[in-house]
Structure 1
Amino acid sequence: MHELSQEGKYACSYANIEAAQAARGNAERGVETICSSVASQVDLYLKQNMLATWLYSTGTKVALMCGDVSTHNFDEMMLKANVS
C-alpha cells in the first residue's frame, strides 16, 4: 500500500470496516460507519482530508437520501442534495 502510494501513480489506503457489523440490520448506521472509516483512513494514510470534508458536509445529505441505491436515480439524488 505504501509502496504504491509512493510511486505517485496510485493513491492507496486501507480501512477496516468490521465495526459496521455492529449495525446488525440497520443499513443506514452500517453505511455511515463504513463511510466514516474509509474517510478517516484516507486522511490518516494519504494525508488528504478532502473525502472527510465532503462526507461530513454534503456527503451526509446524499447518503441519507440513498436508501437502496439500486432503486434511485443518482443524478436526481445529487440535485436534491444541492450537489453539482
Structure 2
Amino acid sequence: MAHLLSTDLQRGGDAALRAMFAARKAVFIDLLRWDLPAVDEQFEIDAYDNENAHYLILVDGDGKHLGSARLLPTLCPHILGDLFPHLSAGP
C-alpha cells in the first residue's frame, strides 16, 4: 500500500511515518554510522522534515516499511542543494 503524507510531527504522526523514520534510523545511524541524532533513540528526523516535506511511503499489509521518499520543493532548503550540491549541475 502506498501513502502520500505530509509531516505531522506534533501529534506523533501516522504509523507509516513512524515506520519510515525508524527505517531511516536503521539505515543512516545504525548501518552507515552517520553522526545524526535519533529522536527517542528510535527515529531519524532531521531539519528537512518540516512543513514543506511530503512523503511517498510504501508499506506491506502488516504496515512494515518497504520504501519511501521525502519530497521537498526546490525553492525551499533541501538536502541536495545544501549538503550535496556537487551531485547536480546548475545554481
Range into which the TM-score falls when normalised by the shorter chain: 0.3 to 0.5
* TM-score calculated relative to the size of structure 2: 0.34
**Highest relative contact order (Cα 8 Å, sep 6+), 1 or 2?**
2
**Between structures 1 and 2, the one with greater strand share:** 2
